[in-house]
Structure 1
Amino acid sequence: AATDPRVLALAAQVTESKDEDVPVLLLQLKAILNSASLGCKESKKIKQEIYYYDLTQYCMLVLRQDYSRLQGGWTTAAQLAEILSHCCVGLEVKEDPEEFYKKFLPLAIDNLLFLGRRLQARFIRAIKDKEKQDFLRCFHTVTDAICWLFGGHIQLTECVLQNDHFLQLLITDDIETGIIMMSVLSNILRVNSPVLLRVGEKILHSVLDELVYKLSSTTNPVIGNAATKLLLSLAKFCEQLVKLLTTRYKGLKVLLSKQWMGKGFDRDLSQLLDLLYLEQSNGKGEMQRQHQAACLIQATWRGFQTRKRLKKLPQAVTALQRSFRAKRKQELQHLKKQKEDEALKQQMQLQRQRAMRHFHERQLALLEIIHASQVDKHMQEMERKSALTIQRFWRGYRARRYFHQQKQSLKEYKAAVIIQRAACKFLEKRRKKRVLSPWKDTKGLTDEQRLALKQKVDDYIKLHPASQMSEEMSKELYTQAQEKLAQFLLRSSLDRRAAQRRETLLAQVNTDVELLMNAPGLAETTEKDLDIFMSRSVPVATKAKQSHNSMLKYTCWPWWKKLGDEFVEDDVIPDEALNAELGTLFIGGRK
């Protein structure tokens, strides 16, 4: 079937127009929808074409705009909300229905409620009566569109109740908008009553709190009638809600009977009160039964506890008597021990006094016997004996105390010694029992490993070949090496001879210094001492001896140490050697 040309033309205009002109253009959809009768095939076809050309999406999205500066104002927004609801109800989506039902419709509900909040806020802030009437009419149109939309799609009732905008719209002190929102809630209950049991407990409590608050905070009979009807509908639908009203709102019955009786809706009010009182009576009967059951349980438990205590009473009395007798016996023993200690203390004190008296008597008797000249000596002897006795007792006491202090450490030391001995014996036994591991010969290379190693060596030689030299280059290199070797040996021979001469000079200097140090003073000098310093025989003999020893060492050298002498001419004598030879003849300041 051919597409409606009006839909095509409108879609083209919307696509090419500015955002400000789109809402006014979308108002043409109302005429297109009204051209076909509601529910017929032509109407469904037009709605499908409008949806497939995204005009419905445009209607939903433009609801978020600010219409205060657009053509037609908020009336245009209300008409677009009505058009959107009519386009969605009765629409059969064949392509991707899940997106339409789970994404598009909840978003449309959210935008409609958002538009309703805007209109409600502007209605409350409006001052002029005409503006108030216009905003109220637009608000009513939007709420009717919402009711029409969830009336065609029942699953949207849950989305409406769970939406935060709906609760904000319901929680208002304004009478006109509050009545309209309660009518929306009444339509929700009429369309889908079980939805209140599927929403969260928090949302249900919020709705009930607002309804009860409206009953308690206002005296307007219209508000009271609407709230009472809603509560009655809830109570008739589910007994659980009646129980919730009774338990959560204790003074609701008194409030309804005192404040709202005789306001024109006594019939509904009486039905609600009957339901509440019936639930309360059932609750009271249940409470009485629970109270009686609790009393019976408590009586049974107390009787059981009493009988249990009576059975344990003889054992308790026996235990009490036993503990009392044990405690009394302990007290008597303590008193007896205390008396014995006091008696012993008195006896010791008495013995000490008797000993002191006996000592003094003996001292007096001795003083009478001893001569007067021997008294001091006797007293000193007694003091010495007393000091020795005191020291002996003190040392014994100190030794015993030290022994008791060191007793634990000595015990630990002995225990450590015993443990060490046992450990040493155990280790010695283990060492004797241990069998030496057999010698494991190193494994040689196998034929395969030997071939692999040889192959690696050959590869390395191929990668790093030795440099090739010609015969002339080899001879030249050999000649250079021989020359450098001769120069090195010549220098080393000269250095060695110079070192020997230095050692000789040092020996001569040390000898002269020793002679000078051992020389006698001038007053004691003789001609013999003078000859020692004037004679040349001693230095010459020393030099000859050194030369002879050097020659012997030279002859004993191996052949490879004598290679340096082949490159030295015998007739050439270095100046340093000559100076060294002449320097050895310096004696006593003369040459």
Structure 2
Amino acid sequence: SHCCVGLEVKEDPEEFYKKFLPSAIDNLLFLGRRLQARFIRAVKDEEKQDFLRWFQTVTDAICWLFGGHIHLAACVLQNDHFLHLLITDDVETAIIIMSVLHNILRVNSSVLLQVDEETLHSVLDELVYKLSSTTNPVIGNAATKLLLLVAKFCKQLVKLLTARYKGLKGLLSKQWTGKGFDRDLSQLLDLLYLEQSSRKGEMQRQHQAACIIQAMWRGFQTRKRLKKLPQAVTTLQRSFRAKREQELQHLKKQKEDEALKLQMQLQRQRAMRLFHERQLALLEIIHASQVNKYMEEMEGKSALTIQRFWRGYRARRNFHQQRQSLKEYKAAVIIQRAAYKFLEKRRRRRPLSPWKDPKGLTDEQRLALQQKVDDYIKLHPASQMSEEMSKELHTQAQEKLAQFLLRSRLDQRAAQRRETLLAQVNTDVELLMNAPGLTKTTEKDLDVFMSRSIPVATKARQSHNTMLKYTRWPWWKKLGDEFMEDDVIPDDALNAELGTLFIGGRK
């Protein structure tokens, strides 16, 4: 160790300072640990003295090394062998190790801040443990001096001592007062109490600041809530009044419904009573021999009325059941018609084959054809007819033609009548399908069913609007209609505008 201090290394100084010296410290600490173990196990006093002297020599060498090389102080503290040497119950070796720690702090006062937190806590824990577990004044004096030195050199460690070891002040004042090192003990206690008082003052200031912040925040929240209180009360009153008004309206409507039901029931009872009175009056007027006949007639009328209502109900039910199927059928018809028209237009737009002149007959072919015609005339000569027979045949043809024209005119009128009836039926069916329910029926809906002119006028107006729209179409929408007449409107355009109204047998 003496040769390593003050030596100027010219070759590989980094290896000397960073590898060789730390390894030397580690070896010396390991040697000291073995000497400490031998000293503890030794029985004879002479052996103990020898081992203790050698242990002192090793520790002096360690102190000499980190005294000459300050950076080795951190290596000594962070070495596991040093912590094992410090954690011992033997008094002599513990005092020597604490003196080594004292020298480390004198050489480098900030070394405790350079080591890791675990090492620092281990060293402080061992010092406090020695103060609490032993009554030896030598151990107590050494530990107190070390703690005082730590507290003087760094205020952060004072905060750590007061925060980590809360019973340290009571332990020092009760157990170690009057043991011969009261001066150092009083200085350490003063530092600890000063830190505690400063911490208490800081905590009081923080507590007061927190109280002020809480008071300001609560006041702000209260004022904010008080500002919103009128609006909340207004909203609550509005909702309460709306709810109460809704309940009153519901009760009023319920009472009106009950009154209406009662009135309808009274009307039915009154009508039933009048009906029975009328029946009794008629029975009194009718002769006794005619009563049975009258009763049979009334039963027949009643049966007819019941049947009429039942058939109407059944027809309406069947109509509502078939309504969707009718719509689907008509939609399918419309789609098929549009598809057929599209296919027909595409067929018409196919390019025409170029015109080919017919091939002329040659002279030989013309002579052969003339010969065939002459031969056929010879084989099938025409019959001779007189003038009277021709006139009679002409008269018969005229009569048959007149009959045909008369019959065709009648057939045409019948076909027009059928188409008109079919269009009327289709219109009625469509109106019934689109008609609202009986509860939603208005006078306008009744006019549609009562008047035949309204659907016709609607059809005419829609057709007129469709023609106007078609004439205003741009040129690109009329492509493909060049071969159509100018006054003819495409059926698909009419169908797109006319909806589902049937007039004249077409939709």
- 2:465 paired residue number: none
How does 1:320-399 map onto structure 2 within 5 Å?
A: 320-343=236-259, 369-370=292-293, 384-385=307-308, 387-395=310-318, 398=321
Query: Over the residues paired in the alignment, what is the CA RMSD in angstroms?
Result: 4.2
How does 1:237-316 map onto structure 2 within 5 Å?
A: 237-316=153-232
Q: Say which of 23, 39, 62 aligns to 1:107.
A: 23
Question: Structure 2 CA distance, aligned partners of 1:340 and 1:125?
Answer: 112
Cα shift readout 1:471-518 (whole Å, capped 9, x = no counterpart): xxxxxxxxxxxxxxxxxxxxxxxxxxxxxxxxxxxxxxxxxxxxxxxx
Structure 2, gaps ≥5 residues long:
284-289, 343-474, 480-507
The share of aligned pairs that are identical, in percent, is 76
Question: Structure 2 CA distance, aligned partners of 1:194 and 1:320?
Answer: 69
Question: Structure 2 CA distance, aligned partners of 1:188 and 1:226?
Answer: 14
Structure 1 residues 312, 88: CA separation in 2 closer, same or farther (over 3 Å shift)? same
SS at match of 1:165: helix
Choose between structure 1 and 2 for higher RCO, CA contacts under 8 A separated by at least 6 residues: 2
TM-superposed deviation, 1:203: 2.5
Structure 1 residues 275, 104: CA separation in 2 closer, same or farther (over 3 Å shift)? same
Question: Structure 1 CA distance, aligned partners of 2:9 and 2:223?
Answer: 78
Question: Structure 2 CA distance, aligned partners of 1:121 and 1:370?
Answer: 143
Cα shift readout 1:222-271 (whole Å, capped 9, x = no counterpart): 22111101001111212222222222221111110011112222121111
Amino acid at match of 1:244: L
- 2:106 paired residue number: 190
Q: Say which of 79, 90, 93 aligns to 1:177.
A: 93
Question: Structure 2 CA distance, aligned partners of 1:172 and 1:396?
Answer: 109
Structure 1 residues 373, 345: CA separation in 2 closer, same or farther (over 3 Å shift)? closer
TM-score, length basis structure 1: 0.47
Structure 1 residues 338, 144: CA separation in 2 closer, same or farther (over 3 Å shift)? farther
TM-superposed deviation, 1:185: 0.8
Q: Say which of 163, 168, 193 aligns to 2:79.
A: 163
SS at match of 1:149: helix
Question: Structure 2 CA distance, aligned partners of 1:208 and 1:175?
Answer: 18
Structure 1 residues 393, 94: CA separation in 2 closer, same or farther (over 3 Å shift)? same
TM-superposed deviation, 1:372: 8.7
TM-superposed deviation, 1:332: 2.7
TM-score, length basis structure 2: 0.54
Cα shift readout 1:255-293 (whole Å, capped 9, x = no counterpart): 100111122221211111111112222222333333333
Structure 1 residues 344, 110: CA separation in 2 closer, same or farther (over 3 Å shift)? farther
TM-superposed deviation, 1:91: 1.8
How does 1:387-426 map onto structure 2 within 5 Å?
A: 387-395=310-318, 398=321
Structure 1 residues 351, 186: CA separation in 2 closer, same or farther (over 3 Å shift)? farther
Cα shift readout 1:315-366 (whole Å, capped 9, x = no counterpart): 3333333233233223333333444455555566667778888999999999
Structure 1, gaps ≥5 residues long:
1-84, 422-427, 433-591
Q: Say which of 134, 137, 150 aligns to 1:234.
A: 150
Structure 1 residues 185, 295: CA separation in 2 closer, same or farther (over 3 Å shift)? same
Question: Structure 1 CA distance, aligned partners of 2:181 and 2:204?
Answer: 35
SS at match of 2:3: helix
The 10-residue stretch of structure 1 (106-115 or 123-132) with the greater mean CA deviation from structure 2: 123-132
The 10-residue stretch of structure 1 (235-244 or 307-316) with the greater mean CA deviation from structure 2: 307-316
How does 1:144-159 map onto structure 2 within 5 Å?
A: 144-159=60-75
Give the number of equivalent residue pairs: 329
